[in-house]
Amino acid sequence: MSERLRPRDLALLAEETPTTPAHNATVEIFECAESGFDHDRLVELIRDRISFVPRYRQRLQQVPGRVANPVWVDDEHFDLAYHVRRSALPRPGTQDQLRELVGRIVSRPLDRTRPLWEIYLVEGLAGGRVALLSKAHQVLVDGVDTVDLGQLLLDVHPEPKVLGGDEWMPQRGPSSAAMLLDAARDSLTDPRTVLDTARGTTGSLLRAAEATAGTAGRVVGGLAGRSPQRAGALGGPLSQQRRIVTVETRLEDYRKVRDVHGGTVNDVILATVTGGLRTWLMARDESLRGFRRIRAVVPVSVIDTELEATSLGSQIAAHYVDLPVGEASPVVRLHQVSYSFQAHKETGRGVAANRLAGIAGFAPTTFHAIGSRVAAREVRRGYQLSVTNVPGPQSALYAAGARMVASYPVHPLVQGHPLAVGVTSYDGGVYYGITADRDQLPDADLLGTCITEALDELLDTVNGGRTRARRGRRTSGATGAATSGTPNRPARPRGSSS
């Protein structure tokens, strides 16, 4: 009997719309001048390891009449070449060009008639580098039955390791009669099957009705000459296009701040995000009276027997933090963020960062996937922003001999939330991936610059830095550059928004 889609996964699938594609993505940068890492070697690498994630060769099959939840079946026409794709930038490709390409690719929903994942090898980056862009649907990676394929592709040594892929033969999919028989059997042996099916059908109808009502309301408003209500920077309807911003910083800087002011590296990262949001909102001429605090959901790793076990050795739970963007002092912002995590630390459920970083493979890709599921599940609780920070290994990893030098998470957006932030620590770096709605937030690049400045501001409190210029006045220019900075101080290349 085929495995039936679970209710929480069905909810994620049902809530997906053309403006909210529900897949996670990761952008990894590799140095491959000596390794010869190319599309053919990537295909062979995935062919060798895909057997460890069987779900990546399965697709969803609807039950006739939708009398029960869909089931996972082997894709009899599975084509690895379809899922592993090749792309290129005009040489020498810049980081800006890469981000533009990534934004376009992650804006496209996955094909539901096939296994729900894709990987792109992007060639042509400056310095002979290549990028690996992977995207997988939220229902595919749950950390229980399936981890992210990206967790399995990296090795700790440059010498490629052959694990020995299986000679896979897909099982023939069940017939319509067999699926109906299985659905009837499940309904008799487990009454929850009927309830889950009813909930899924009702939820789909309600979401369709809400979408229709929303469209009709906008049409009526337009005919009446009323402009839509302005929702601010962190709310509003989404378009079908995304804008991706990446920021590279160094882990040692966060540790310096932590060693002087206390707390954890996670606290310093969230304080940096808070400071970046503050400067960005002021540069947008946003009134901070409505943004004294930004309610953020921060998925955290915990040990809790009441939550569903995962193959990662811990569970992921939602933790809420009020980011104090109205506070002018960077040190006070840090202390307030640290205090908000104090109760969580005192429960004893928290999992140490070094334990997470020590999980086999490159686990951050799986943790980010689960974190985005948590954020999607918690959306009705009224948060304004999701921030997921995952510590990774602090030594170099390799794919088919090519060294990975950066990893940026790309989180999906949920309805009404035009901004999401993911952070991954890896090999001495801290890498931010900011996903923004392209139409709602055309100045998302500025947020990347502001995050860099926020970290510099915290470092100034450690290094005895100088007084910083006042912020908040918009400069002239179409690009919306940062409104202020530190006079006579050159930009720090490690923290550019590229």
What SS3 class is residue 108? coil
Ranking 29-43, 86-100, 286-300 by mean pLDDT, the lowest is: 286-300
pLDDT band at 215 (very low <50, low <70, confident <90, very high): very low
Helices (H), strands (E): how many in the chain? 12, 15
pLDDT score for 312: 74
Ranking 50-59, 211-220, 226-235, 275-284 by mean pLDDT, the lowest is: 211-220
Q: Which is nearest to 422 in space by CA: 345, 369, 350?
A: 369
Angstrom distance (rounded) from CA 133 to CA 118: 8
Contacts of 252 (CB under 8 A, 6+ apart): 428
Could you give the dihedral angle defined by the CA atoms of residues 169, 53, 85 and 421, in that order, rounded to the nearest 10 degrees? 160
Q: At what angle do helices 251-261 and 444-463 cross, to 10 degrees?
A: 50
Reported as a single tens digit per residue, the pLDDT across 28-50 is: 999 987 778 999 999 999 999 99
Angstrom distance (rounded) from CA 473 to CA 15: 40
Reported as a single tens digit per residue, the pLDDT across 318-356 is: 899 999 999 999 999 999 999 988 876 766 555 666 666
Of 115 and 175, the one with more pLDDT: 115
Q: Which is nearest to 403 in space by CA: 151, 158, 131?
A: 158
Residues in the chain: 498
Q: What are phi and psi of 49, to 5 degrees?
A: -120, -5
pLDDT score for 165: 73
pLDDT score for 363: 87
Angstrom distance (rounded) from CA 286 to CA 279: 10
Angstrom distance (rounded) from CA 446 to CA 410: 17
Whether 222 has a pLDDT exceeding 60, the answer reads no
Instruction: Decide if 422 contacts 432 (C-beta within 8 A).
Output: yes
pLDDT score for 371: 93
Q: Tell me the two tokens of residue 4.
A: 């039936």
Angstrom distance (rounded) from CA 57 to CA 171: 11
pLDDT band at 250 (very low <50, low <70, confident <90, very high): very high
Q: Tell me the two tokens of residue 31.
A: 């140095």
Q: Which is nearest to 383 in space by CA: 420, 338, 350, 431?
A: 420
Ranking 3-17, 233-247, 423-437, 463-477 by mean pLDDT, the lowest is: 463-477
Q: What are phi and psi of 124, to 5 degrees?
A: 95, 5
Half-sphere exposure of 355 (CA within 13 A, CB side): 9
Task: Provide mean pLDDT across the span 469-488.
Answer: 38
Neighbours of 231 (CB within 10 A): 12
Contacts of 28 (CB under 8 A, 6+ apart): 131, 132, 134, 150, 399, 404, 406, 407, 408
Q: Which is nearest to 98 in space by CA: 429, 36, 106?
A: 106
pTM (predicted TM-score): 0.84
pLDDT score for 418: 97
What SS3 class is residue 293? coil
Instruction: Decide if 9 contacts 139 (C-beta within 8 A).
Output: yes
Q: Examine residue 92 and say whether the peptide bond preceding it is cis (omega within 30 degrees of 0).
A: yes
In sequence order, the β-bridge partners of residue 120 are: 85, 133
Q: Listing from the earlier edge strand, what are the strands of the sheet with 84-93?
A: 84-93, 117-125, 129-137, 23-31, 402-410, 398-399
Whether 224 has a pLDDT exceeding 60, the answer reads no
Angstrom distance (rounded) from CA 481 to CA 474: 8
Neighbours of 449 (CB within 10 A): 25
Beta strands in 293-418 (DSSP E): 294-302, 315-323, 385-391, 398-399, 402-410
